[in-house]
Amino acid sequence: LPGDILHLTPGYYGAFSATRDGAPGKPIVIRGSRGSVIPSTFDSVSLQNRRHVILEGVTVNGSVDLLGTDEVAVRHCVVNAKFGIIAKSPPGAKNCYIADNVVTYIMPWVAVGMGHESIYGGPANVGEGIEITGPGNVICHNRVKGYRDCISTMEDLRAYEQVSIDVYNNDLDVCVDDGIEADFCMGNCRIIRNRLTNCLMGLSSQPSLGGPTYFVRNVMYNVIHAPFKLGRGSVGNVFLHN
């Protein structure tokens, strides 16, 4: 019920799908045993179409699906998956908070695997750390490593109301295509104070659809191709102190 806190004991819980909503000021909290030697572990977690739910302190060896969510939080979780925390098609996720998570995969840092048209493991590199569309989302203080794109919005027909999005203070490593792919942002998207290490491309805005799309005080190390990718007629970008 709204306001309930489900405190999970250490152990294995298989695949989980949430079926209840919380209420404003009374979220349902699903909380793992943080600090335990044995974590509270899931194969996957679906929060599809849920409202006012918090997932906290669990380990997920598969995707966390936020498609259709509103006012949902994922925080202090460990996610090990080819596709980590996702809401990849309309209506995406709305007003969600994704913070303080560790999201990892095993994409290797090798030349043959870099870029969209790589041949490593197939016709193209596949694997996205945090990949969502939708308005009002906050992605902050996450550590994301070993993906094609570590943090990404959606492109073309999958981009839905990508406005008022904040991506800040994330630590990203081994991004064999883009560190942050802020493509098809539609207004007031802010990419601020992120650290990107070992990327083919640093910050992508391909395109910004009028903006403003802000890139402020991001730090990039060992970028192979270029720090900024502004293709497809990108307009409305603001770059300050990167």
- The 10s digit of each residue's pLDDT in 41-54 is 999 999 999 999 99
Per-residue model confidence (pLDDT) at position 117: 58
Per residue in 124-147, pLDDT tens? 578 999 999 999 999 999 999 999
The residues near 75 (Cβ < 8 Å, ≥ 6 apart) are 54, 55, 56, 57, 97, 98, 99, 100, 101
Please state whether the predicted TM-score (pTM) of the whole model is above 0.85. Answer: yes
pLDDT above 90 as % of the chain: 88
Q: Would you state the structure tokens that stand for residue 16, as one six-digit string?
A: 């989980």
Per-residue model confidence (pLDDT) at position 163: 98
Per-residue model confidence (pLDDT) at position 116: 64
Which one has a higher pLDDT value, 37 or 144? Answer: 144
Asked whether residue 119 carries a pLDDT value surpassing 70, the answer given is no
What integer best gives the mean pLDDT of the chain?
94
